Amino acid sequence: MKPVKVAICGLGTVGGGVFNVLFRNASEISRRAGRPIVIEQVATRTPNPDCETSSVYMSQDVFDVIENPEIDIVVELIGGYDIAYDLVMKAIEAGKHVVTANKALIAVHGNEIFQAAREAGVVVAFEAAVAGGIPIIKSIREGLTANKIQWVAGIINGTGNYILTSMQEEGKTFEEALAEAQELGYAEADPTFDVEGIDAAHKLTILSAIAFGVPLSFENVYTEGISRITIDDIQQADSLGYVIKHLGITRRTEEGLELRVHPTLIPKERLLANVNGVKNAVMVSGDAVGPTLYYGAGAGAEPTASSVIADLVDVARAMGVDQASRVPYLAFADQSYDLPVLPMEEIETAYYLRLLAVDRPGVLARVATILSEQGISIEAIVQRDSIEGELVPIILLTHVTKEAAMNEVIRQIESLADIAGGVMRIRVESLNDQ
């Protein structure tokens, strides 16, 4: 059969991985695809010293690939929203299929991109955009089609999980661990996307759309990162029987959709609590199947390449299939369903609170009164021994309550004369995985 001809745009961490794995496993991949998948062109601003590119047509301008009539599939691996957006839209306009690892682009511009792709009759595939090497898009979109999915919760940023694990297990500082993640090629070009939760919010946007069949709505994700987590929080959580993980959570309720990313205390015995380093894991609970778990590398050159190449094979297979018989971009052929996203104030969880108090009698009683006035019961209190003249950290674990009530509690605690600075709040999820 005729080979499928591919242009790789961007030869960095992911592009380099795709290039090398496509060459190394060429015969295995073409046995699966039923025909060879050939790199016809590479367009990249900077070469990659790990790739032997002498046999491939190289250019610097990514828009060259649009003009190349030989190219069937444009692989967008440059990142960002601007040039990547133009490249993908021009590729679609030119009738070329697209494979991308760019979650920012899909989360923010996906509704428009898929509409254009539908009209042009081309495939846009994005398995690498969520959880790197884990085939989570395919699992939800194709493997779980029988189910009414109830919730999805996952560790979906490799850099963030690498940082939290290094702080917890190796006593590294936040800065040291982030520098290592950058060195290993895990972090985004702007690492604030990783540490402030934006990258996870992009991925959760995509997961929510394919799990529930709702439009992509990145602007509605409640987003909090890990940059305020201290080693003290990690140790306090540990002594209470919890691990701190950064989670993306989306849940369908009677009232609407939960859509949130934030640090979370998880009981140590839960499966997600034991996912460490650059590994990601996504739990998906469906009404028929129950809870399911998908685990693997969330970032890095070859794990991510594994997903990009799986998409290339899927596109190669879909090329001979009419549009109506292809797997829908966002899992649902009927795209008309929508659900309101619940405001964060409506969410119910338990909470970990860390406060710094002046060591005076009665301070704990005042805090406890504020909680009880909001109808919130306390699960545990830890007050460290005071050192003369120093502020005393107090840790509280509460039972489940509404976020709105907790906002009011925090406002009142912060206004007490005995309390210094702000209250650190981390949500607690029990995540029943059985």
Ligand X SMILES: NC(=O)C1=CN([C@@H]2O[C@H](COP(=O)(O)OP(=O)(O)OC[C@H]3O[C@@H](n4cnc5c(N)ncnc54)[C@H](O)[C@@H]3O)[C@@H](O)[C@H]2O)C=CC1
Residue 186 interacts with ligand X (CB under 6 A)?
yes
- Distance in angstroms (rounded) separating the CA atoms of residues 246 and 419: 27
Q: Does residue 161 touch ligand X according to CB under 6 A?
A: no
Q: DSSP letter at 250? A: E
Select from 14, 283, 280 the least CA-distant residue to 160: 280
Catalytic residues: 203
Burial class of residue 5, CB neighbours in 10 A (0-12, 13-18, 19+): middle
- As measured in angstroms, the least distance from the Cβ of 159 to ligand X is 8
The rounded distance, in Å, linking the Cα atoms of 343 and 259 is 9
* Residue given tokens 């960002």 in the structure block: 80
Q: Which is nearer to Na ion, 127 or 314 (CB)?
A: 127
Of 55-63, 90-98, 157-165, 309-317: span binding ligand LTNE7NMQ (CB under 6 A) = 157-165
Q: How far apart are CA 14 and CA 17, in angstroms?
A: 5
Query: Smallest gap, in angstroms, from Cβ of residue 158 to ligand LTNE7NMQ?
Result: 4
Q: Does 160 bind ligand X (CB under 6 A)?
A: no
The CB-of-84 to ligand X minimum distance in angstroms stands at 7
Question: Do 70 and 37 touch, CB atoms closer than 8 A?
Answer: no
Is 40 strand, coil or helix? strand
**Any contact of residue 349 with Na ion (CB under 5 A)?**
no
Could you say whether residue 234 binds ligand X (CB under 6 A)? no
Of 22-30, 142-150, 254-262, 307-315: span binding Na ion (CB under 5 A): 307-315
- Strand ranges (E), 333-418: 348-357, 378-383, 392-398, 401-402
Query: Is there binding between residue 135 and ligand LTNE7NMQ (CB under 6 A)?
Result: no
Task: Specify the pairing of strand 222-223 against strand 348-357.
Answer: unpaired
Candidate list 51, 78, 187, 247; residue touching ligand LTNE7NMQ; CB under 6 A: 187
Closest approach of Cβ 141 to Na ion, in Å? 11
Choose the contact partner of 45 out of ligand LTNE7NMQ, ligand X, Na ion, none; CB within 5 to 8 A by kind: ligand X
Choosing from 72, 194, 224, 302, the residue that interacts with ligand LTNE7NMQ (CB under 6 A) is: 194
Cα 196 to the center of its chain, rounded Å:
12
Q: Minimum Å distance from CB 193 to ligand X? A: 8
Binding site for ligand LTNE7NMQ (CB under 6 A): 132, 157-159, 186-188, 194, 199, 298-299
